[in-house]
Chain A
């Protein structure tokens, strides 16, 4: 069954050229991020405090020029990718773990427990994320783990809802009844029988979550709650360059990080959509 599913999926995905292209671009970005030390031309944190070295336009020595402290932007983009992607992934993992666990329990057991759990989720959902985030920002030290935690803690609700919905319908299926009849424990049923069936849903959701997290991280940096020095991400590069957005001198300091975020998020979105179209066109929930 597994190989058949994967084969169908591959064929469908293959047809969706945009999604495939997005996937390739993402792989390239990961590759560059992982091998950043290889591709970087300079030390990304090395500051050159001389007028002749700051805000340089793109040249052969500095592919994308230098920023306001004389650091090479190309190298910073590469290393910054690590943090941006790391925050995205970490957030996604936190969100998925909490969301899936919560939704699975709620959906599987149903009844009153489900009602109460979903009530709590609804309550949290009715609060604008950014309010929670701003309040939480005072608690966590602003490093990339703190930010991932904050974004994660405010994003798991939707995943929980989705998983719960699936579990609710799946648990009435025959194979579950059969498993119960065979005397399998609840735990085993959840992990071995039900979870694999929502695998597709989770993966699609996860891809879109990463996209959302990367965007949110850059918005947080703009508001001043983002990654702190000496760490830097695309979001924090973008926000520190905002003073030079109107600069007729160095628009590339802001343009490229913004472009990088945009392309990465775009690719994640296309890829996720492609996955969804390929795996199960009926799954239309985000």
Chain B
């Protein structure tokens, strides 16, 4: 009797509650926040310590940079009145800040805050992940409240770009200095400010529920006018399938960095009438297979070229990536101003590959594997576990290359092991990795002979590529200030790269984002600035 009554009561509770909260799932009114789905939880909201693309999107809302890079890859002054003026010798930059820019607590932004940001980046005890661009600063002079000069140690044409990204966002001196001093001249990545950030951006920080979401609301005194969208929530969705699921039933409004497999499904959803826009634009991210040029088997250029010919790059892009990528022939992405459209292309041609190998002296042995001077055409492809696109590359490569007489093994490692050990200690034979280029075409860190990490302790020339002409060109490219001249230099670099193929350049990914159809002014940005770079301009109709 008692049990029955209990059961009935429970049912009643359920019914009431369900019907009461049923209305909650509809989602297009402006009172409800705009929800952006993040792939991972963020680690900090303090720009001093940031180094992840994930955080960049949220930081775009809270903080501001001196300049911005727009979707057409042009610099725009943001906190500055105008773009900085460079001195004749290329060493000194003059910056002029806008007036009347306020932090979220009402205090006005001055040059002191910029200098403070620089000091925090260089403070000895601060665990700042990247000091690359900050170390190049020789001197920081403040002229007045809104004008300052920065002098570099050496002229560097690539230096300005960094001011547009999250790591250069300006932090408030009047708040952070106290925390710095209190910490014994040390800022902590997990300190108070990183959980309660205050910046000059269009959105104020409201709440960060660990591992769940970050909520922002519009800042009324934003120097460009209060943004139209009142509240934005960045929600953590670690699993891409669940992300798609939640996007399709409206729980998430913006699905950024869509997996290639999901692109078609999103298009299908759009066709079926879901009010979304699917943006598909080129990005600076690429995928490449790096040859370990120290190994005898890869020292022969014929081998590298043959492997390039034998791998079906276009089909890979079409079938595995659903066409949301472009085939790469060198290291510079197609939308860069320095892109060379006339490079040697390796269209899928297995016969030519076999021919190249034969002519170079790689004869088929009895076991079906080619060999030359006692060296067998046998190697292992490494990459990290859990990445289906890279695994697909490995399996396709194995099939195609074994057909032309190679012996291919696949050995994958867990990510930390791969990067921390296999890559850094040069234990790989051929490794499949991603790369993110910058706007500036300089790639000295990849190709210069002095950038071999195991020999010189610096650089990312893991391939071990040594080419005197390339060295010359790279150095010249950094010195040259005239864009036309630079373009010629980088064109030649790409030309050599496509001939020598120290990498098997696979493709440049497209960046796909799905947003509500009534979201105006959403403009994908291929740089490190992220797709939320102009978050202040977004409007919902």
**Interface of A toward B, CB cutoff 8 Å:** 45-47, 49-51, 54, 68-70, 137-138, 141-142, 223-225, 228-230, 240, 242-249
Contacts and interface: CB of A to CB of B under 8 A. Distances in A.
A142 B412 contact: yes
A137 B241 CA distance: 24
A71 to B, nearest CB: 9
A47 B399 contact: yes
A225 B414 CA distance: 7
A203 B318 CA distance: 51
A70 B399 CA distance: 13
B385 A224 contact: yes
A45 B395 contact: yes
Given A47-B396, A246-B244, 12 more contacts: A50-B319, A51-B318, A69-B320, A142-B414, A225-B414, A228-B412, A229-B394, A230-B395, A243-B240, A243-B261, A243-B262, A248-B265
Contacts of A225: 385-386, 414
B414 A50 contact: no
Contacts of A247: 265
Given A243-B388, A245-B241, A246-B245, A141 B395 contact: no
Contacts of B261: 68, 243-244
Nearest to B399: A47
Nearest to B244: A246
Contacts of B240: 243
A225 B398 CA distance: 21
Q: What 10 pairs between A and B have smallest CB-CB spacing?
A: A224-B386, A49-B315, A243-B261, A228-B412, A49-B319, A229-B391, A229-B395, A224-B385, A138-B414, A229-B410
A227 B248 CA distance: 31
A246 B240 CA distance: 11
B405 interface: no
Interface in B240-272: 240-241, 244-245, 248, 259, 261-262, 264-265, 268
Interface in B356-402: 385-386, 388, 391-392, 394-396, 398-399
B109 to A, nearest CB: 44
Contacts of A142: 385, 412-414
A240 B388 contact: yes
Given A138-B414, A240-B388, A45 B399 contact: yes
Interface in B319-365: 319-320
Given A49-B319, A243-B259, A248 B412 contact: no
Contact of A246 (B265, B395, B398, B416): B265
7 contacts: A49-B319, A49-B396, A141-B411, A224-B386, A225-B386, A228-B410, A246-B241
Given A68-B261, A69-B320, A243-B259, A141 B413 contact: yes
Contacts of B244: 246
Contacts of A248: 265, 268
A230 B380 CA distance: 12
Nearest to A223: B386
B417 interface: yes
A142 to B, nearest CB: 6
Contacts of B396: 47, 49, 69
Contact of A50 (B315, B388, B417): B315
B395 A47 contact: yes
B416 A138 contact: yes
Contacts of A230: 394-395, 398, 410
A240 B262 CA distance: 14
A45 B394 CA distance: 12
A232 B412 CA distance: 13
B321 to A, nearest CB: 11
A153 to B, nearest CB: 17
Contacts of A69: 319-320, 392, 395-396
A243 B265 CA distance: 11
B63 interface: no
A201 B386 CA distance: 38
B312 interface: yes
Contacts of B213: none
Contact of B385 (A68, A70, A228, A249): A228
Chain B CB within 10 A, most for which of A49, A50, A141, A247: A49
A45 B410 CA distance: 14
B316 interface: yes
B319 A243 contact: no
Chain B CB within 10 A, most for which of A54, A223, A243: A243
A223 to B, nearest CB: 8
A62 B207 CA distance: 53
Contacts of B245: 246
A243 B106 CA distance: 47
A37 B31 CA distance: 61
A136 to B, nearest CB: 10
Contacts of A240: 388, 391
B267 to A, nearest CB: 12
A225 B262 CA distance: 23
A225 B244 CA distance: 23
A242 B394 CA distance: 19
A62 B259 CA distance: 27
A243 B248 CA distance: 15
Nearest to B394: A229
Nearest to B272: A248
B220 to A, nearest CB: 41
A246 B261 CA distance: 11
A246 B412 CA distance: 27
A51 B398 CA distance: 20
A69 B417 CA distance: 28
B403 to A, nearest CB: 11
Contacts of A246: 241, 244-245, 248, 265
A245 B265 CA distance: 11
Contacts of B319: 49-51, 54, 69-70
Nearest to A43: B399
Nearest to A54: B319
Contacts of B395: 45, 47, 69, 229-230
A223 B410 CA distance: 19
Contact of A49 (B312, B386, B416): B312
Contacts of A45: 395, 399
Contacts of B262: 243
A138 B415 CA distance: 9
A192 B209 CA distance: 62
A244 B315 CA distance: 20
Interface in B271-317: 312, 315-316
B315 to A, nearest CB: 4
A68 B316 CA distance: 12
B417 A138 contact: yes
A283 B259 CA distance: 51
Contacts of B413: 141-142
A229 B240 CA distance: 22
Contacts of B316: 49
A45 B395 CA distance: 8
A50 B348 CA distance: 13
Interface string B76-103: 0000000000000000000000000000
Contacts of B259: 243
A46 B399 contact: yes
Interface string B410-436: 111110110000000000000000000
A54 B316 CA distance: 12
A134 to B, nearest CB: 9
Contacts of A244: 261
